[in-house]
Amino acid sequence: MNEEEFDVVGTPLARQDGLPKTTGSARYADDLKLPRMAFCRLLRATRPHARIVSIDTSRATDYPGVLAVITGEDLPVKYGVLPVGQDEQALCTDKVRYIGDAVAAVATVDEQTADAALDLIEVTYEDLPTYLSIEEGLTRPGEPIHEGKFGNAHRAAALEFGDVDAALAEADEVFEDTYFFQGNTHLPLEQHACIAEWNPAGKLTLWSSTQSPHYVHKELAKALGLSEDQVRVVAPPVGGGFGGKLELFQHEAVAARLAMLTGRPIKAALNREEVFYCHRGRHPVLMWIKTGWTSDGHLKGMDFKSFVDGGAYMSYGAASLYYTGALQAVCEHVPAYRWQGVRVLTNKPPCGPKRGHGTPQPRYALECHFDAVAERLGVPVLELRRKNFLMPNSKTVNHLRITSNGLRECVDIVARESKFEARHGKLPFGKGVGFAVGAYLCGAGLPLYWNDMPHSSVDIRLDRSGVVTVSCGQIDIGQGSNSMLVTVVSEALGCRPEQISLVSADTDLTPIDLGSYSSRVTFMAGNAAISAATQLRNLLIGAASAELDLPAEELVLRRGTLTRRDGLGAPLSFPELVKLAESRNGALTATGSYKPPRLAGPFKGSGVGPSPAYSYTAAVAEVDVDPETGWVTVERIWLAHDIGRALNPVLVQGQVEGSIYMALGEVLMEEQEFRGDRGPRVLGVHRVPSMLEYKSPTTFEMPEIHTFLVETIDPEGPFGAKEVGQGPLLPVIPAVANAVYDAVGVRIDETPITPEKVLRALEAANRRFGPTKLPTYPFPRLQKVDPPWAMGSEHAAPATV
Amino acid sequence: MTQNTTLYIQYLQEHTSLPVQGQRETTAGPPPGKKVVLELDVNGERHELLVPVHKTLLEVLREDLDLTGTKHGCELGECGACAVLVDGEAILSCLALPIECQSPSAIVTVEGLAEGSRLHPLQETFAELGAAQCGYCTPGMLITAKALLDSTPTPTRDQIVDALSGNLCRCTGYLKIFEAVELAAARVVA
């Protein structure tokens, strides 16, 4: 099929869920209502780290309108989304680990009664030492937050690819910098909500606003002590996720247990403050980077350390930690690379995966460092970058397979369109331009728990009416995955988009899809859909070919109509074609599935980083910095993204704009703040658990955006497509930081870049604001791995233009 | 203290035995059962309702009238997701008391933007341009934009930015929303 023949791919088809969402008829989890439905609310800890001495629920139990009261004894089983992280409980039994951790819950006839009943539960705590920072977690003595032989430094890793010390020793110049990326949260507009219903024959159904019905299914069964076939999880449309709804949350298990106990459907709808406690957002990361260079600007080696503030539980933390070291070498050719990282437990809401999962922090550090290195070497920044970019079809030092790579073209476009080289370093004081690049996965190459099964499957059933029913476990959280399936199936099958009826995100009704994370759905569900659609297309054309006694090549099926290439005969409508094929073949169904190729390298920890493809992005930010107030205004962003192929350019552009928006929030204002002052007040209180106080960009903060899509037609992507939901966020954060430096000559090596930090840097002798020291921590023994080119396998292409 | 809050407290004091300010009474008794009869004109339909006095307009719309198109985003007037029109003016229903919006005031929710099966141009352009991604801010955006277009049929980009500045969206970066409002304005005028 050549490009000109596409009917749907590449067209700006309106979103499949557009009209339901603009008419108010899309039903989200909190919009659902079941007969006899009752409500639950959770009692949340008021201490950051404390042993539970006693819980008295008697007065709440006696309160009118209360149907049930439960504590940790009713839900004692530990669970977690990662096999290595079984450390959470739906209601804490022994101790609480952050303010907001749940200790008890009530089911009541209405929500107001629930609030009143919670006030009647008395919990006695015995305070334990509180750890609120990486430094405190590593050095404060006392009982660690979780049991384990490493204390609060619960996960650590150390990897070396090639000989970094030798590479740095041979380098003409060596530079090092330290950065801190502050934590921030997803802040989806939709607050988490769910309804649980128990069928006394032994089946629990949970409707929940989740990005992964599959992982919630597994975790919920474990938490409830049910077998997995007794649990069904359904995700209605999700009102935003960004990584914040990717695992089982306490209220989901609690609602389920209360539904089992009361025999009534139970709704749990969190308020905004509770959403801040669920969190699982961006990890605060302290980073140190050291690189060696030839004097003309070739990168020789890189040494990198990540100190990751995990919050109170594992969540996705083991993966998050590795992601702070996994993608350092996907843009540049790095001949030797060492990474050491540690994730430290603290008494704050657990961190987890947020858009870019573990990679925006090191990307910020890397791109700011490269900007600083270019200046120190006296090499123009784009020249320095272009000397080192990784080639397409190569391997990175840490064994990641790179196929399509449009980074060079992206860089050329944003440089040209923003006139970067003519303006960088040359604008008047207060005005600046900054440059950065980034790359991201098109789906994690491995599932969260080890298995050899497909990551995504799509079932398609053709009805003789012409309806094409497409079933897939994927969930549209706003990114447009429903529309992606409509585009891909109608193109591959040859039907009209309007014929397609989607069934999504129901663990009983739809085949597996792991969830909306790691930018995996287009690549994986898209490929599964093409496989299923192609089987059915072949059946339809085969039936027509036999019926008309013509070779299949003489028949064309497009947009729901079968015609002959020679133009003779009457066209066949889709229903006619289905009837024909159904008469010959029986019921018409097909299943396609997708599993990424085996890509993990030969070392422990190699499961994080591999992906069937990588998207590439380059960005230029133009800023205005007021040296009097420190106020940073981002005026323009030019961003070019290697999308592989844009299945729907309008939706792709929407993802780019949304990524830029979220990046601007992270770089300029968004941060999780907790009360850390010593003294009589309770430590660890979230300072800003509301949408007013947690600052996020409004319409006023949006700059002019110029988006450019580069199509590299990925060899393994569905119709050549790659991801767009996360990659475009990555370069925007450092591009703004670098633009601030260009504008007023100060390095803000800590996010967010607030006016106060800019002013302090302007006053500082070293014209910098950022971390100055690293904690002392004995990293584990280095796992030394040869780079792929030293192992006789496929060589990384040399980094030449 | 806003006028709404003052009215609310006054109303509660007159009509209930709830402690209005200060701590919640935790020692006793059954939950407050005080209810009030309301007459609401919503999307052109008259409703007579008996609802607990503490309920906000948002809760009454969603829970008593099943008009779930209007969304909770914060319940504190911070996000704009719950905007509805009352006599043509966009207000935050999470901060409004239904008693203040009774008939003959006309309430319009997102479900009332279409005339029968004929959609408002904003509903079409938001869908066409991908201005609704997750869609949770969308009802509030549509309502606020409708109020803008009714008073300013051909708004400038700055007027749109200004009018929507109290409506948070986490998905789109707002640009597609601005474009959808501009396109709808052009269609309304045409």
Q: Are residues B149 and B60 in the same domain?
A: no
**At A232, is the pLDDT very low, low, confident or very high (cuts 50, 70, 90)?**
very high
Report whether B72 contacts B93 (CB < 8 A): no
The confidence band for A792, taking pLDDT boundaries of 50, 70 and 90, is confident
| pLDDT attached to residue B16 | 46
Which of B130, B136, B173 lies at the smallest CB-CB distance from A650? Answer: B130
* pLDDT given at position A370: 98
E strand or H helix at A532: helix A521-548
- Judge: B136–A654 Cβ closer than 8 Å, yes or no: no
Q: How far is B88 from chain A (nearest CA, A)?
A: 18
DSSP A161: E
Q: Higher model confidence: residue A201 or residue B34?
A: A201
Residue with the bigger pLDDT between A383 and A679: it is A383
- Asked if A19 and B123 come within 8 Å (Cβ–Cβ), the reply is yes
CB A211 within 8 A of CB A483: no
Q: Tell me, what's the pLDDT at B32?
A: 57
Query: Do the beta carbons of residue A625 and residue A413 sit within 8 Å?
Result: no
Q: Specify the pLDDT at position A793.
A: 52
Q: Which residues of A touch B119 (CB under 8 A)?
A: 19, 22-23
Do B105 and B138 fall within a single domain? no
Question: In this structure, what CATH number is given to the domain that contains residue B155?
Answer: 1.10.150.120
A173 Cα distance to chain centroid: 36
Average pLDDT of the residues in A752-780: 97
Among the three residues B50, B79, B112, which one is the final residue of a domain in this structure? Answer: B112
CA distance B144 to chain A (A): 13
What kind and span of H or E run contains A785? strand A783-785
Residue B31: closest C-alpha in chain A: A113
| Domain around B179 | 121-189
SS3 content of chain A, % helix, strand, coil (to 5): 30, 25, 45
- Nearest chain B alpha carbon to A59: B27
A117 to chain B: nearest residue by CA? B26
Q: Are residues B128 and B180 in the same domain?
A: yes
Given the structure tokens 């024909």, which residue do they identify?
A580
Contact B136 A28 (CB under 8 A): yes
Q: What is the dihedral of CA B143, B146, B148, B149, to 10 degrees?
A: 170
| Number of alpha carbons in the 13 Å side-chain half-sphere of residue A27 | 10
Interface of B with A in 43-102 (CB under 8 A): 52, 54, 62, 66-76, 78-79, 81
* C-alpha pair distances (Å), A335 with each of A165, A219, A297, A298, A788: 12, 41, 14, 10, 10
| Cβ–Cβ below 8 Å for B69 and A24 | yes
**Crossing angle, helix A360-377 and helix A381-388, to 10 degrees?**
120
In a shared domain, residues B105 and B75: yes
Q: What is the CATH number of domain A285-446+601-790?
A: 3.30.365.10
Indicate which CATH number applies to the domain containing B13.
3.10.20.30
B73 contacts on A by Cβ (under 8 Å): 189-191, 272, 691
Amino acid A3: pLDDT: 47
Mean pLDDT over the full length of chain A: 96
Q: Do B9 and B81 reside in the same domain of the chain?
A: yes
| Judgement on whether residues B8 and B98 belong to the same structural domain of the protein | yes
Contact A657 B169 (CB under 8 A): no
For residue A282, give both structure tokens: 């961006």
Token pair of A700, please? 């006023």
Q: Which two tokens stand for residue A308?
A: 């990751």
Binary contact (A657, B172; C-beta < 8 A): yes
Q: Which residues contact A317 (CB under 8 A, 6 or more apart)?
A: A82, A85, A154, A155, A283, A308, A310, A343, A350, A351, A352
Q: Does B161 touch chain A (CB under 8 A)?
A: yes
Best of B175, B176, B179, B183 to disrupt the A interface (most A CBs within 10 Å) is B175
Substitution target in B95, B136, B157 with the highest count of A β-carbons within 10 Å is B136
| Token pair recorded at residue A505 | 């995100």
Among chain A residues, CA nearest to B127: A18
Q: How far is B39 from chain A, CA to nearest CA, in Å?
A: 23
pLDDT at B54: 87
Residue A120's pLDDT is 98
Q: Domain end: B44, B78, B112, which one?
A: B112
Using CA atoms of A573, A575, A577, A580 in order, give the dihedral in degrees to the nearest 10: -140
Per-residue model confidence (pLDDT) at position B71: 98
- CATH architecture designation of domain A453-594: 2-Layer Sandwich (3.30)
pLDDT band at A340 (very low <50, low <70, confident <90, very high): very high
Confidence of residue A801 (pLDDT cuts 50, 70, 90): very low
Contact B151, B87 (CB under 8 A): no
* 8 A C-beta contact, residue A780 and residue A157: yes
Residues B96 and B179 placed together within one structural domain of the fold: no
Res. B11: pLDDT tops 70: no
| Section A322-338 average pLDDT | 98
How many domains in chain B? 2
- Pick A382 or B21 by higher pLDDT: A382
Spell out the residues 6+ positions from residue A276 whose beta carbon is closer than 8 angstroms to its own: A100, A185, A349, A686, A689, A690, A694
For residue A800, pLDDT beyond 60:
no
Closest residue in A to B119 (Cα) is A23
- Round to whole Å and give the CA distance between A541 and A436: 49
> What number is the average pLDDT over the span A322-326?
98
Q: B9 and B83: one domain?
A: yes
pLDDT band for position B24 (50/70/90)?
A: very low
Do residue A23 and residue B110 have CB atoms under 8 angstroms apart? Answer: yes
User: How far does chain A reach from its first CA to its final CA, in angstroms?
Assistant: 32
DSSP letter, residue A795: P
Helices A381-388 and A407-418, interaxial angle, to 10°? Answer: 170
**Chain A partners within 8 Å of B126 (Cβ):** 18, 21-22
- Among B29, B62, B135, select the one facing A237 at the smallest CB separation: B135
Handedness of CA B121, B124, B129, B133 (dihedral sign): positive
Closest chain B C-alpha to A53 CA, distance in angstroms: 22
User: Domain check: are B131 and B108 in the same one?
Assistant: no
At B107, which helix (H) or strand (E)? strand B106-108
**How many interface pairs between A and B have CB atoms less than 8 angstroms apart?**
188
Quickly state the pLDDT bin for A114 (edges 50, 70, 90). Answer: very high
Across all residues in chain B, what is the average pLDDT? 88
What does the pLDDT read at residue A681? 74
Residue B166: closest CA among chain A residues belongs to which residue? Answer: A698
Domain boundaries defined on chain A: 37-128+189-240+245-278, 285-446+601-790, 453-594
Residue A591, CA distances (Å) to A9, A462, A525, A543, A681 in order? 21, 12, 11, 19, 59
Q: What's the CATH class of domain A37-128+189-240+245-278? A: alpha beta
Given an 8 Å threshold on Cβ–Cβ distance, is A477 in contact with B134? Answer: yes
Other beta carbons within 10 Å of A315: 27
CA nearest B169 in A: which residue?
A189
Which CA distances in Å does A501 have to A18, A101, A170, A508?
Answer: 14, 41, 62, 17
Number of H helices, E strands in chain B: 6, 5
Which member of B32, B75, B113 has the closest CB to residue A272?
A: B75
Beta-carbon neighbour count of residue A556 at 10 Å? 14
CB contact under 8 A, B133 and A26: no
A647 pLDDT above the threshold of 90: yes
- Tell me which of B112, B139, B169 is where a domain ends: B112
Partner-chain contact A21 B135, CB within 8 Å: yes
Q: Do B99 and B163 reside in the same domain of the chain?
A: no
Decide if B31 and A112 are in contact by the 8 Å CB cutoff: yes
Residue A156: other Cβ atoms inside 10 A: 17
Does the pLDDT at position B70 exceed 70?
Answer: yes
Share of chain B above pLDDT 70, in %: 83
pLDDT digits (tens, 9 = 90+) for A3-34: 458 999 999 999 999 999 999 999 999 999 99
Which residues in chain B have Cβ-Cβ distances shorter than 8 Å to A236? none
- Percent of chain A at pLDDT > 70 equals 98
Assess whether the region A37-128+189-240+245-278 and the region A453-594 belong to the same CATH fold. Answer: no
> Which has the minimum average pLDDT: A580-584, A789-793, B62-66, B156-160?
A789-793
Using CA of residue A579, residue A580, residue A584, residue A590, what is the dihedral sign? negative
3-state secondary structure A661-720: HHHHHHHHCCCCCECCCCCCCCCCCECCCCCCCCCCCCHHHCCEEEEEEECCCCCCCHHH
* B21 pLDDT more than 70: no
pLDDT in tens, A167-187: 999 999 999 999 999 999 999
In a domain, B28, yes or no: no
Q: How far A265 CA lies from chain B's nearest CA (Å)?
A: 16
For residue A5, give the 3-state DSSP assignment. helix
Q: Which residues in A lie closer than 8 A to residue B67 (C-beta atoms)?
A: 24
For residue A461, the cross-strand partners are: A469, A589
- The reply to whether B70 and B8 lie within a common domain is yes
Give the DSSP letter string of A385-408: HHHHBPPSSEE-TT--EE----HH
End-to-end Cα spacing for chain B? 44
Separation between Cα atoms, residue A491 and residue A647, nearest integer Å = 10
Residue appearing with tokens 């008469």: A583
A contacts of B31 (beta carbons < 8 Å): 64-65, 110, 112-113, 116
Contact B127 A21 (CB under 8 A): yes
Distance CA A48, CA A132 (A): 9
Helix (H) or strand (E) holding A613: none
Ramachandran angles phi, psi of A462, nearest 5°: -105, 125
For residue B74, tell me if it sits in a domain. yes
Contact A165, A213 (CB under 8 A): no
pLDDT for A296 beyond 60? yes
Q: Are residues B177 and B155 in the same domain?
A: yes
Relative orientation angle of helices A649-668 and A360-377, to the nearest 10 degrees? 70
A652 touches A709 (CB < 8 A):
yes
Query: Are B161 and A700 within 8 A, CB to CB?
Result: yes
What is the rounded CA–CA span in Å between residue A171 and residue A227?
58
pLDDT the model gives residue A92: 98
CB contact under 8 A, B133 and A190: no
In Å, how far is A448's CA from the nearest CA of chain B? Answer: 25
pLDDT score recorded for residue A558? 96
B29 in a domain, yes or no?
A: no
pLDDT of residue B33: 67
Distance of CA A639 to the CA centre of its chain: 20
Amino acid found at A421:
E
Looking at the DSSP bridge assignments, the partners of residue A206 are A196, A233
Q: Shortest CA distance to A284 belongs to which of A307, A320, A309, A306?
A: A309
pLDDT of residue B14: 54
- Alpha carbon A52 to its chain centroid, in Å, reads 34
Over 70: is that where the pLDDT of B13 sits? no
Report pTM: 0.95
Q: Do A24 and B170 touch (CB under 8 A)?
A: no
